[in-house]
Amino acid sequence: MNAPARINSALNVRDQFPAIAGWHYLDSAATAQKPQSVIDAITQAYSRDYATVHRGVYERSASMTDAYERSRAAASKLIGGQPDELIFTRGATEAINLVARTLPRNGRNRVLLSSLEHHSNIVPWQLAGYEVDAVPLTSDGQIDLDAAEALLTEEHRVIAFAHVSNVLGSILNAKRAADIAHSKGALLLLDGCQAAPRMAVDVRSIGADFYAFSAHKLYGPTGIGCLWGRAELLQSLPPWQGGGAMIEKVTFEETTFLDPPARFEAGTPHIVGAVGLHAAVNWIENLSLDAIRAHECALVAEARAALSSIDGVTLYGPEDSAGIVSFNVDGVHAHDTATILDDAGVAVRAGHHCAQPLMRWLGVEATARASFAAHSDSSDIEALVRGIEQVKRIFSR
């Protein structure tokens, strides 16, 4: 086998991430490390600029309100939407729960999911009382859209799929998924948590109806995420939570509500989280998602080539996975693999990755998962390989 090409931090951003100095961080699919520009934006927002939003008439409050709304505009533009179509939530989990709980069902009570979904795109539909149907996967771990087309009926209100699998890195043909959904009058919700940091997204050209993603996987802070929805659909959704900032008029007899997105943002929001999200979007756009995608694709190819050359290592998912490589060492539990890798200075995720149905489809209890980011390079892969060789030495004794 020819040696894989070495990726020497083609994006040249590693030194912008203070938390990974001397560390091989390969868990970006769980949460991304933060570049210094995001950290600085959050620090400044708390230390010099902080004030409430949408309430005060004083200058600093007006300035912070402007910053908050500029973040909304930037986050919506990132995925091809408009500011009035984007709701700030606590994360993608809350975004999916919001849709599951508020979407008028129009007599339809079924949702079509896939066998690779994250629990946050399964449990909310169950709790909301939907009947769940699951689409099988192809042999290489892609959502089988031919099967989805055959399974979809007039009883399905929503198709809800991961745009990119958090375990296998499988990339959905989202445009075809939208066409399938709309052919039976269903809506398409995409879980974009793994796609938004890794590839250019245009919700309009896809034909999506809802798109959810989180800031913390996008090099931004935790505690804030986004739900994009087509404007006419958001208008049809009732409020989910009540409180300040989302009302038009309150009396003891009746309350009327503001238009979206304010209708869905009850209470004081994560103000500084929005500032940090805007900084993260700016950082990504300065690099370009196309450059990030190309960089991560090269790293995936290098990692898969290196790991497949090691006897006793099983790889999962498609060859062209997006920034994610899941694997197991034969005879070794993924948790043990990850523990030994940690001793070698390599951070990977191990477990079921909040995707237990997928683990059952793979026939394993857990996998180890290496996931890349803009700051990743060949040194991370070389350290991963050395660590796996150590795993094999320890368990061969």
Give the C-alpha separation, 158 to 250, whole Å. 33
Residue type for position 69: E
Cα dihedral 325, 193, 102, 182, rounded to 10, equals: -70
Pairing of strands 24-25, 346-347: parallel
The percent helix, strand, coil of the chain (3-state, each to 5) is: 40, 20, 40
User: Does the annotation count 354 as an active-site position?
Assistant: yes
Catalytic residue among 193, 226, 297, 354: 354
**Tokens standing for residue 277:** 């999200």
H runs (alpha helix) in the chain: 36-47, 59-78, 92-102, 123-127, 145-151, 174-183, 203-206, 231-236, 271-287, 289-308, 334-343, 356-362, 378-395
CA–CA dist 257, 11 (Å, integer): 46
Active-site positions? 354
